[in-house]
Amino acid sequence: MAPLIRLHHAIGFDDAPFDRSHRGNVRVIGASHSGRTLHGVVSGQVRRDGQNSTCELTRLVAGYGGDHLGLILLQGIALAGFNVVDLHTLHRETGLPVLVVARRPPDLTRIRAALLEQVPGGERKWRLIQRAGEMEPCGGVWVQRVGLSLNDSQAALTALTVTGRVPEPLRAAHLIAGGVAQGRSTRQRV
């Protein structure tokens, strides 16, 4: 488990908005915070419904020089549609705990059906979702976690949240991604 003080130094990732018909790469933004203060931004790309999200997030964290980072936050387990992040590999490769945040638990029946019926590599992606474990209620949101306890998750959410229920690194990543992709940002809904 990561010491609590390091959990206050986090990087949150969110993907940029994209059209449903879009095929190809989607921008991913990472916002690094120390407590509630923005310290840096990173940007990369992942393939729509692809398989490179884990590698790209690992690359972005390493490239940021994240020796001071103590936590990775994700807004859901998948980026760019169904480019599912392997939470355990991301944790192992970066050495950082990973906390997935969502406003409500996902509809796993619909997700499984979509993956198995419509998405290339859907069986592998479904296994990654199953391996991540069920989401748990925590601090007004739902979380999946690797490398930290539920109590540490709650403490990190409390330390990193200013407005609403979304931790600042995720809120900032969402706003920046929207601004870059659409010329303006939209409010966070969590």
Q: Where are the domains of the chain?
A: 4-106+135-182
Instruction: Report the distance separating Cα 58 and Cα 72, nearest Å.
Output: 10
Is 162 in contact with 38 (CB distance < 8 Å)? no
Name the architecture of domain 4-106+135-182.
2-Layer Sandwich (3.30)
SS (H, E, C) 16-54: CCCCCCCCCEEEEEEEEEECCEEEEEEEEEEECCCCCHH
Convert 8-37 to b/e letters by CB count within 10 Å (16 or more is b): bbbbbbbbbbbeeeeeebbbbbbbbbbeee
Q: Supply φ then ψ for residue 140, to 5 degrees.
A: 85, 0
pTM: 0.92
pLDDT by position in tens, the chain (length 190): 455 547 789 999 999 988 887 889 999 999 999 988 999 999 999 999 999 999 999 999 998 876 789 999 999 999 999 999 999 999 999 999 999 999 999 899 999 999 999 888 999 999 999 999 999 999 999 999 999 999 999 999 999 999 889 999 999 999 999 887 666 666 655 4
Instruction: Report the distance separating Cα 30 and Cα 72, nearest Å.
Output: 10
Give me the helix-helix angle, 108-118 and 122-132, nearest 10°: 150
Task: Report the amino acid identity of residue 175.
Answer: L
